[in-house]
Amino acid sequence: MPHIVFHEPCIAGNTGNAIRLAAITGARLHLIEPLGFDLSEPKLKRAGLDYHDLAVMDVHTNIDALFDLYPSSRVFAFTTRATTNFTDITYDPTDLLLFGPEPTGLSQQVLNHPRVTTEVRIPMLPSLRSLNLTNAASIAVYEAWRQNGFTAGV
């Protein structure tokens, strides 16, 4: 499964839901600091239910620390400003699916990072700001998993 990457997430409940997503799909979840919450927050635990022990999650001090661990992985940055549709990508198990913080999305500095392979978007109706962070990650992870035949899924 490709990796889910939340860059500087702000809302504990969204990250809790992402922990649950990682557990049920087998994707690895990466959180890039600073986090807008404490990992022990009740909202995070409640959203993740009892999946915390089943998910694989890493916290990194910055985005370069993550990229250094996966030097050959492609990085797909999800942003509403992109023109490439997320379904136009053929995903590999080593890909990093990068999502930005809830209120702002990925900064231009992150989007300009030399490791970003492609900026991609999830289509939505015009004049609307964005999807919920974990909803967007779910759509992307399930598309990648579908492309790979739902390997290990039932």
Provide the pLDDT for residue 106.
95
Provide the pLDDT for residue 96.
98
- Res. 131 pLDDT band, cuts 50 70 90: confident
Give the mean pLDDT of 109-130. 93
* Structure letter (DSSP) for residue 149: T
Q: List % helix, strand, coil for the chain (3-state, nearest 5).
A: 30, 20, 45
* Structure letter (DSSP) for residue 55: S
Provide the pLDDT for residue 42.
67
pLDDT, greater one: 54 or 116: 116
**Which residue intervals of the chain are DSSP H helices?**
12-25, 42-48, 63-69, 108-111, 133-147
- Res. 105 pLDDT band, cuts 50 70 90: very high
Provide the pLDDT for residue 50.
64
Provide the pLDDT for residue 68.
97
Look at residue 12 and tell me if it is in a domain: yes
Tell me which amino acid residue 107 is: S
Look at residue 15 and tell me if it is in a domain: yes
Tokens of 100: 């930005």
Look at residue 129 and tell me if it is in a domain: yes
Look at residue 14 and tell me if it is in a domain: yes
**CATH, residue 126:** 3.40.1280.10
Look at residue 154 and tell me if it is in a domain: no
Q: Over 90: is that where the pLDDT of 12 sits?
A: no
In whole angstroms, what is the distance from residue 70 CA to residue 126 CA? 35
Look at residue 98 and tell me if it is in a domain: yes
